[in-house]
Amino acid sequence: MSEEDIPLPPEGGAGFFSDEPPAEVEPSKSGTPYCVLARKYRPRTFDDLIGQEGLVRILRRAFAVGRVAHAFMLTGVRGVGKTTTARIIARALNCTGVDGKGGPTADPCGVCPNCTAILADRHPDVLEMDAASRTGVDDVREIIEASRFRPMQARMKVFVIDEVHMLSRNAFNALLKTLEEPPAQVTFIFATTELRKVPVTVLSRCQRFDLRRVPQTMLAEHFARIARKEGAELEEGALALIARAADGSVRDGLSLLDQAIAQGASDTASVADMLGLADRGMVFDLLEAALHGQVADVLKIAGQAYARGADLGELLMDLMDVLHLLSRIKALPELRDGGELPEMERVRGGAIVDHVGVTVLGRAWQLLLKGVAEVEMAPDRRQAAEMVLIRLCHASMLPTPDKLIRQLQEAPSGGDISTTGGGPALGGPSSQAPIVGGSEKTASVSSRTVSAPSGGTGPGAGPSASVSPQGSGPVRQGSTVLKSQPEPVQETPPPSPLRLATENGTPVAQKSDEQNDTIPPIPRSWRELVALVRQQKAARLHGTLRHLGHLVEFAPPRLVLRIAEADEEQKRQTFRSLTDLLDGLYPGCWQVIASDEQGEPTLDEQGAEVVALYKDKAKQHPLVQAIMRHFPKAQIGEVRDHTLDDYGLPPETVVPLGEDVPAYLEFAPLDADYPDEDDFY
């Protein structure tokens, strides 16, 4: 290296090794590091916090009366101000005022040494720890050791632990004692987004404050003020999009606002492109086209949104958001006149809800809710989203169940059902032909089956058209309920614990002095005896008696029975189990005899006959016939009658032991009606 290449010492008298500091060079404007909006406009006082009026009011009152807690638990979603609030509390506890003589205050001065050091995040007595990266018990022990020493500079030593729910169980346990009885000059402030993961033993030692999501209107106003300070002007719709995307988080919204200003996105369309969202007006256009069943227009709008960079899965979420908005307007009409919603949403939303019912909105919501899950699992999100939109268009053309039933009721008897206005429509006088049934039943219509809601018991359970062969009644207008007169049932009060005795050769019931009140009543019929076996938790025996037991004779205490389709060993086991069960309940009373006679059908076979009879009656009903004409491929499901018992049979009429059986009931079938008194004269 030549002497010419050696640099000369700087002018001004100082050499290379001088102790004098170098002259400060003013940084150029281009070299100044940029501070993002989320840090630049971070609240410094309680007055700067937005959307947390309850928290501010309580803390101001606590500082005013001198009742500031030693531990705080701040919880809420990300970006609502938990760590910011913790720093404001730390400054409020340590502020000394402009003159250096002030005490704790809810309005820190911001100019004293403590305030400036805390704002610069370099105060030795205000320690912040991120529990997400320091989760162990050793990290907590450092805090415990530091809490034993008095503050070096400030009035109070403050420990701020962010994301405290990430601490391990041992770390929480190590902190408990110090947290419950901390030194007088120590304050703990915890912040978390997952409050449920914090042990209750820690929560019980802290004052808890829930920081709420900031409303969208308040966020939009806040962003507008900051944008004006930054010399940018954004449209109201653009600010609304940023506020909606922030989802109640101030920090998230400021980050999006920073991005929008940097990109020069000032109008709504530009912000929507930046966020990868469809324009709000486009979402309303898409929903209106879908509700009118215009598949081509729906796919065209979706294609335009996709070409602009919008994710069609997010587009479905936007549709769900609009459906939720419309449902709220439908339930709360005062939203149309309030200032909570933008003008475009009030006007267009009000126009839609004037012509769309809650049922249609709810059905569209359910389709989109399932569709969003399908999009997440599909290999091609666009294809899956378009299939969901096509399904939504076709579903919007289908009548709602209540409308279909109403139209079927208004259809003329024997007439056809026509479709008008893009959907099924019915006309003509109401068909008021009586229907048959034993109780309230519900028949709902689909394109495949004529079904009823689940409920009741018996082998006929399942999707069904609930029509009973007993009685008759009118069809209730505007409802899906087919109501008829209930079948009269003769009720007999249950007897008290009994035992069998005989008087003149006839079994009678007597009170037992030796048996307690836990003994069930004597069964008065074969069906009651089978039900008694089920009550005694003898599942195998109950299934055998129900499906294979053919009653030959039932005359308490004598029972003659045939077990079908079973080998000899199974038959012996069945009779042995039944005899043991009855002897355990009624010692020495019952006589169970095996027989090879045909006997009565099993309880299951009797229930199947009743179901078949009910289905045949249901086919003859005018409303069902009208449905079958409109849906030729529909089928009538199994019948369910809520008056039937667990075996699918109507209630039986039994006579208490020791009484004579009336002549008109002696040979009456199970579904026989009770005679009127006039029938005997």
What tens digit of pLDDT does each residue of 37-46 get? 988 899 999 9
Q: Which two tokens stand for residue 558?
A: 């004598």
Mean pLDDT of 460-469: 38
Mean pLDDT of 464-471: 38
What element of type H or E holds 352?
Answer: helix 343-353
CA nearest 485: which of 460, 468, 503?
468
pLDDT at res. 508: 45
CB 578 within 8 A of CB 592: yes
Does the pLDDT value for residue 165 go beyond 60?
Answer: yes
Flag the least confident range among 184-193, 335-344, 397-406, 477-486.
477-486
Flag the least confident range among 235-239, 370-374, 456-460, 625-629.
456-460
SS3 call for 575: helix
pLDDT at res. 204: 92
Q: What is the pTM of this model?
A: 0.52
Flag the least confident range among 381-390, 555-564, 608-617.
608-617
pLDDT band at 411 (very low <50, low <70, confident <90, very high): low
Question: Greatest CA separation found in the chain?
Answer: 145
pLDDT at res. 543: 87
CB 603 within 8 A of CB 527: yes
Structural domains of the chain sorted by starting position, each given as residue range(s) with its CATH number in brackets: 37-210 (3.40.50.300), 216-275 (1.10.8.60), 280-396 (1.20.272.10), 498-603 (3.30.300)
pLDDT band at 415 (very low <50, low <70, confident <90, very high): very low
CB 561 within 8 A of CB 592: yes
CA distance to 80, 211, 212, 215, 380, per residue, from 247 (Å) = 10, 14, 11, 8, 27
Mean pLDDT of 203-224: 91
pLDDT band at 673 (very low <50, low <70, confident <90, very high): low
Question: Any idea what DSSP says for residue 46?
Answer: G
**Interval 580-589: pLDDT, tens:** 888 888 888 8
pLDDT at res. 199: 92
Mean pLDDT of 337-341: 72
Mean pLDDT, the chain, rounded, equals 77
Mean pLDDT of 402-427: 55
**Burial bucket for residue 145 (CB in 10 Å: 0-12, 13-18, 19+):** exposed
pLDDT at res. 270: 84
Mean pLDDT of 360-378: 92
Instruction: Classify each residue of 75-86 as buried b or exposed e, where b means 16 or more C-beta atoms within 10 Å of its C-beta.
Output: bbeebbbbbbbb
Does the pLDDT value for residue 635 go beyond 60?
Answer: yes
pLDDT band at 387 (very low <50, low <70, confident <90, very high): very high
Q: Which two tokens stand for residue 87?
A: 């720093």
**Interval 60-86: pLDDT, tens:** 999 999 999 999 999 998 899 999 999
Flag the least confident range among 117-126, 608-617, 629-638, 667-676.
667-676
Flag the least confident range among 222-231, 500-509, 537-546, 558-567.
500-509
User: What letter represents residue 538's amino acid?
Assistant: A
Strands 449-451 and 444-445: what pairing?
Answer: antiparallel
Flag the least confident range among 280-284, 345-349, 570-574, 643-647.
643-647
Contacts of residue 473, defined as CB under 8 A and 6 or more positions apart, other chains included, come to 434, 435, 437, 482, 483, 484, 485
Mean pLDDT of 437-453: 36
pLDDT band at 657 (very low <50, low <70, confident <90, very high): low
Does the pLDDT value for residue 227 go beyond 70?
Answer: yes
pLDDT at res. 335: 82
pLDDT at res. 457: 38
pLDDT at res. 655: 55
pLDDT at res. 367: 93
User: What letter represents residue 81's amino acid?
Assistant: G
What are the phi and psi torsion angles at 161 (to 5°)?
-115, 110
Question: Of 7 and 330, which is predicted with more confidence?
Answer: 330
**How far is residue 450's CA from residue 378's CA, in Å, rounded to a whole number?**
33
User: What letter represents residue 339's amino acid?
Assistant: G
Rounded to 5°, the CA angle 664-669-674 comes to 50
Mean pLDDT of 130-156: 89
Hey, which residues does 507 pair with through a beta bridge? Answer: 502
Name the CA radius of gyration of the chain, rounded.
40
Does the pLDDT value for residue 30 go beyond 90?
Answer: no
**How far is residue 424's CA from residue 191's CA, in Å, rounded to a whole number?**
58
pLDDT at res. 412: 59
Residue-level length of the chain: 681
**How far is residue 241's CA from residue 218's CA, in Å, rounded to a whole number?**
13
Q: Which two tokens stand for residue 294?
A: 């215009």
**How far is residue 359's CA from residue 51's CA, in Å, rounded to a whole number?**
35
- Which strand ranges, in their side-by-side order, compose the sheet holding 558-563? 549-555, 558-563, 591-594
Does the pLDDT value for residue 632 go beyond 90?
Answer: no
Does the pLDDT value for residue 440 go beyond 80?
Answer: no
pLDDT at res. 359: 87
Strands 207-210 and 449-451: what pairing?
Answer: unpaired
End-to-end CA distance of the chain: 141
pLDDT at res. 402: 73
**How far is residue 579's CA from residue 417's CA, in Å, rounded to a whole number?**
61
pLDDT at res. 308: 80
Report the percent of the chain where pLDDT is more than 70: 75
Does the pLDDT value for residue 490 go beyond 70?
Answer: no
pLDDT at res. 390: 94
Mean pLDDT of 608-632: 83
pLDDT at res. 342: 72
The alpha helices in 536-567, defined as continuous H runs, are 539-548
Question: Of 232 and 469, which is predicted with more confidence?
Answer: 232
